[in-house]
Amino acid sequence: MKIEFPKAYEPKNSENKWYGIWQDNNIYHADETSEKEPYSVLMPPPNVTGILHFGHVLNITLQDIYCRRKRMQNYEVCWFPGYDHAGIATHAKVEAQLKEENLTRYDLGREKFLDRVWDWKEKYGGIIMKQLRWLGVSCDWDRTLFTMDDSASNAVLEVFVRLFDDGLIYRGKRIINWSPVGQTALSNEEVEFREVKEQFHTMRYYFEDSDEYIQIGTVRTETIFGDVAVAVNPKDEKRMHLIGKTVIVPLVGRKVPIIGDEHADPEFGSGFVKITPAHDPNDFLVGKRHDLEMLNTINPDGTMNELTGDYAGMDRFAARKAILKKLNELDLIEKSEDYAHNVGFSQRGGEPIEPYLSDQWFVKMKPLAEEALKVVQDGDVKFHPAHWTKTYEHWMNNIQDWCISRQLWWGQRIPVYYTEDGKQTAAITEAEARTKLNVGSDVPLRQDEDVLDTWFSSWLWPLTTMHWMAEGKNETSPDLEKFLSTDLLVTGPDIIFFWVARMIMATKRFKDVVPFKDVYFTSTIRDGSGKKLSKSLGNSPDPLNIIEKYGTDAIRFTIIYLSPLGQDVRMDVDVDDQDIPSMELGRNFANKVWNSGRFLLMKRDDAENDDPENNISVRDLKDADLTFADRWIISRFNSTVKNIDKALDNYKVNDYSKIIYDFIRRDFCNWYVEIVKVQFADSDDVSYKKALMAHVIGIYDEILMLLHPIMPFISEEIWHLLDDNRTEADSISLANMPEYDEKLVSEETESKFAYVQSLVEEIRKLRSSMKIQPQQKVPLQISAKTVEMDEFLNSQLSIIKSLAKCSTLDIGLNLEKPDNSMVSVIRETSIYLLLEGTIDKDKERERMNKEIQRLERNIFGCEKKLSNEKFVSNAPEKVLTNERVKLASMKESLIKVQENLAELG
């Protein structure tokens, strides 16, 4: 039966059709009872408020490549999807809605506010989970987890209680990142640093009853009301004699001691540093070391408090200006200078964060970090690229306690209960708390108002996705037994501490296994000028629009092709059109794959048309039938399988994309398919033609399997078109991945064929240098150096003649150079292009002389430009590099044209 193979590939039609079929047939659902070897991957949970961006595209494509490949290698693959409740971000979304109604969360109260959040989540939340389907993800959607699901929350509360009971969770005062807009603590991950240009003010701190003073600099004059000491480095020989003296804080009038502490840098500023423990993390540590008073002078909303006198109630930045003005009036400012430094901003509120001394809940991290460090050092968890191990080790060896409380209502509420007389305990329920506190139902209990940091649910992701403590008491589950430890985590290096390290800690603590064996750290995606893709910069087009234009497979392929392990991704972005022209690479490749499949089926139909009664059955090509080219493609295919396996096993996914691209585009399409055309045309044997096309399509079928992990839609579409016996219940996803067969690899065959390729390519270059039209056939002679090479080349004569577009081709041993011919030599083989009747020699001489003059003019101009010191000193390095490359290329072209002119005579 003849299969209708459309002329052009329509990505949208294929993607919509096949993703629906895959889901309807549930082919990506994992069976935890299977006896197959397991392979599992945890999808990093995107925020419930999130929208698809190119970081997701890269991350998800990498995971999908491994899941699809392992599934085709007969593993029981489970890819666990889910999404994160994003405490602060979701809170902000709903509070913005309330603001439009002239309401606040306090007007609604906690319970009604949470009802609104759940309503918002059902209506708008999880949009990104729908968008991920556009990328063709082969995850098990039936296992989707939301971090606020009851099963996840049960585990979160259980972990809090256990750590509390073990003395690893405590409440204490620490400097935390504070959001005055959200009025909550922030994790470091929720703070982004930007360079800010401000003024650095050097103030005068006078000694008591003296006209002498020391100079101390600060940007934040509003914090002087919290000054409790001045520090000097105890090794600072110029200033150490002042330790123990007293100075007066300007404007405030407070007497404070000069103390010795290594926090003071003798080389920075005056060598003195004011110590404000409640408003600076380093000062806080100094305060702890010297048992200093900690004066908090700023309110939670960012206004100054009662300790600041006349400035109380004033916004912190307005107070900064007013205090500076007063200090100048009192002649207490030595100097003010421009100063650029990094300032932390809240990702959600957008305001500068406040380092803030606050009562918060913390997890003691050092006891948890020891095991988590050891498993990485021992190789139980491997990082790719490996250099991130050093970063991890440094952080783990210098780990600080983790602030886990947030002053929000959306999230798992901290399960700590208090009596009126100050007793407290952690418990899953109030009834359990009463038992632990040994109090009856008549004693009032109050639960802590704060919620847990979203990361406190995320660090349990390897456990909660597999239903650990889902019912509050189950230590294991079928999924845990089958799929933990997982095999691969793909994530960004920016959350190596916030998430990766903590997951290792939690999983080791509660299950005594590692959560994953390999961690692949993705690259940062940048535009052509090196700027990180960002919607705020306007250089990050909507991926869905790009998918609409180029197709999912093209996007997936291109982003992997451009992403070497451990290096940033560079993509050209057309900001005006919000387009990414780089995606043409993937689209063109998809079209190449499609067109080759269409051509092969057409040739199969031609062979069948030569046997209208279908009297000749399709047979396998026997060894005797296999041509040199047939043996070459079989060898190259198996070498490619080996190289792909090596690349993917070593997480060099970029190499995989290049290997499959080069094999399909160059070896298969540009060479083998062209040779098949010759073999097909040269034969009158219908039986051979049928066998040949069955053989070629069989190889092509396996090529699609190699391609499927990175380009799932087009490979599925063509795979079905190749065989009308395949139904929608069948899928290439479930086919067996080709395996490397060493017996079918011949280095000698590949080397000899590479020689034929070089020969044909050299002939094409020779034709091009003479401006001979691609379709014009030319007479040619080839002189072989040895008898063996002469015999081999003659065995390939019809192929060389066809591919090199020869009208006649003579191959002989040590032939003399014919008169009136152009010559080129490659690997001791001479190629003679006969000019008689091929070109008009006079016109060609005229063209060459004009070309020589043009090149000489351009070379002179380029050399003059590069010898201009002003141009060289002012031009960007990229421009200079382009000019130098252009100059070298023009010089090379000039030599070639001059040689051709000399040959022409």
Asked if 88 contacts 184 with a C-beta cutoff of 8 angstroms, the reply is: yes
Q: Answer yes or no: are the C-beta atoms of 460 and 489 closer than 8 Å.
A: no
Residue 886 has pLDDT above 90, yes or no: no
Give the residue with greater pLDDT, 706 vs 868.
706
Q: What is the pLDDT of residue 697?
A: 95
Q: Which H helix or E strand runs over 884?
A: helix 877-904
List residues bridging with 809 in a β-sheet.
780
pLDDT at 704: 98
User: For residue 209, what are the CA distances in angstroms to 88, 206, 272, 332, 534?
Assistant: 51, 8, 20, 16, 57
Residue 619: the pLDDT is 65
**Average pLDDT estimate for 355-363:** 91
Per-residue pLDDT band at 424 (split at 50, 70, 90): very high
Q: Are 428 and 393 in contact (CB under 8 A)?
A: no
Distances (CA, A) of 216 to 247, 475, 793: 11, 57, 85
Does residue 705 carry a pLDDT above 90? yes
Q: Please give the single-letter amino acid code of residue 442.
A: D
The encoded tokens of residue 457 equal 């649910």
What is the mean predicted confidence (pLDDT) over 31-43?
97
Question: Cβ distance 78 to 479 under 8 Å?
Answer: yes
Residue 497: is its pLDDT beyond 70? yes
Q: Which of 454, 459, 524 is nearest to 85 (CA)?
A: 454
CA 736 to CA 702: how far, in whole Å? Answer: 9
> Which pLDDT does position 363 carry in this prediction?
96
Q: List the single range of 221-235, 654-668, 723-737, 808-822 with lowest mean pLDDT.
A: 808-822
Residue with tokens 């190289």: 643
**195-234 burial code (b ≥16 CB/10 A, e <16):** eeeeeebebbbeeeeeeebbebbbebbbbbbbbbbbbbbe
For the record, the structure tokens of 77 come out as 């693959």
First-to-last C-alpha distance (Å) of the chain: 60
Per-residue model confidence (pLDDT) at position 746: 95
Q: What pLDDT is recorded for position 840?
A: 67
The Cα 585–Cα 571 span in angstroms is 11
Q: Which pLDDT does position 905 carry in this prediction?
A: 64
Q: What is the mean pLDDT of residues 801-821?
A: 90
pLDDT tens string 748-789: 999 999 999 999 998 998 888 878 888 889 899 999 989 999
Please give the C-alpha separations between residue 152 and each of 148, 433, 854, in angstroms, as whole numbers. 6, 21, 73
Query: What does the alpha-carbon distance between residue 513 and residue 505 come to, in Å, rounded to a whole number?
Result: 10
Contact 610, 689 (CB under 8 A): yes
Residue-wise pLDDT for 268-304, tens only, equals 888 999 999 999 999 999 999 999 999 999 999 999 9
User: 849-857 long-range contacts, Cβ below 8 Å, gap at least 24?
Assistant: 849/901, 851/897, 852/894, 852/897, 852/898, 852/901, 855/890, 855/893, 855/894, 855/897, 856/894
Q: Where are the alpha helices (DSSP H) in 140-236?
A: 150-165
With 80 as the cut, is the pLDDT of residue 712 above it?
yes
Calculate the average pLDDT of the chain: 91
Q: What is the mean pLDDT of residues 587-614?
A: 88
Q: How many CB atoms lie within 10 A of CB 724?
A: 11
Distance (Å, rounded) from C-alpha 761 to C-alpha 767? 10
**C-alpha distance from residue 215 to each of 16, 201, 209, 273, 707 (Å):** 69, 10, 17, 9, 68
Question: Looking at residue 57, what is its pLDDT?
Answer: 93
Q: What is the mean pLDDT of residues 812-819?
A: 88
Which helix (H) or strand (E) is 324 found in, with range?
Answer: helix 316-329
When mean pLDDT is compared across 140-154, 189-203, 626-640, the lowest value belongs to: 189-203
Supply the pLDDT for residue 614: 66
| H-run or E-run covering 339 | strand 333-346
pLDDT at residue 615 greater than cutoff 70: no
Where residue 536 falls among pLDDT bands split at 50, 70, 90?
low
Q: Greatest CA separation found in the chain?
A: 118
Tokens of 233: 């480095």
**pLDDT of 535 above 80:** no
Handedness of CA 868, 872, 876, 880 (dihedral sign): positive
Report the distance separating Cα 200 and Cα 215, nearest Å: 12
Percentage, residues of the chain above pLDDT 70: 98
Residue 158 three-state SS: helix
Judged against a pLDDT cut of 70, whether residue 353 lies above it is answered with yes
> Among 327, 126, 94, which residue's Cα sits nearest to residue 223?
327
Closest CA to 21 of 550, 704, 716, 705: 716
Q: State residue 618's pLDDT score.
A: 60
**Cβ partners under 8 Å of residue 862, min gap 6:** 883, 886, 887, 890
Residue 145 has pLDDT above 90, yes or no: yes
* Structure confidence at residue 751 (pLDDT): 93
pLDDT above 80: residue 181 = yes
Q: Of 87-101, 443-457, 738-752, where does mean pLDDT reach its minimum?
A: 87-101
CB atoms within 10 A of CB 65: 23
Query: How sure is the predictor about 827, in pLDDT bands with cuts at 50, 70 and 90?
Result: confident
User: Over the range 538-572, which residues count as b (16 or more CB within 10 Å of their CB) and which as e?
Assistant: ebbbebeebbeebbbbbbbbbbbbbbebbeebbbe
Does the pLDDT of residue 1 top 60, yes or no? no
Q: What are phi and psi of 683, to 5 degrees?
A: -110, 140
**136: phi then psi, degrees, rounded to nearest 5:** 80, 25
516 three-class SS: strand
Kindly report the backbone phi and psi dihedral angles of residue 231, in degrees, each rounded to the nearest multiple of 5, phi listed first. Answer: -110, 145
Do 40 and 81 form a contact (C-beta atoms < 8 A)?
Answer: no
* Per-residue confidence (pLDDT) for residue 2, from 0 to 100: 60
Print the SS3 string covering 393-441: HHHHHCCCCEECEECCCCCCECCEEEECCCCEEECCCHHHHHHHHCCCC
The average pLDDT across 395-419 equals: 94
pTM, full prediction: 0.85
Q: Are 894 and 900 in contact (CB under 8 A)?
A: no
Question: Is 666 a residue whose pLDDT tops 70?
Answer: yes
Average pLDDT over residues 583-610: 92
Q: What is the pLDDT of residue 558?
A: 95
Q: Is the omega angle on the peptide bond into residue 385 within 30 degrees of 0, that is, cis? A: yes
Contact 86, 187 (CB under 8 A): no
Highest mean pLDDT among 47-56, 78-87, 853-862: 78-87
As a whole number, mean pLDDT of residues 191-212 equals 92
Question: Residues 224-246: pLDDT tens digits?
Answer: 999 999 999 999 989 999 999 99
Alpha-carbon torsion angle 837, 842, 846, 852, nearest 10: 70
Res 368 pLDDT > 90: yes
Which uninterrupted H or E stretch holds 900? helix 877-904
The tokens for 506 are 């939690």
Q: Name the residue with tokens 């066998």.
A: 691
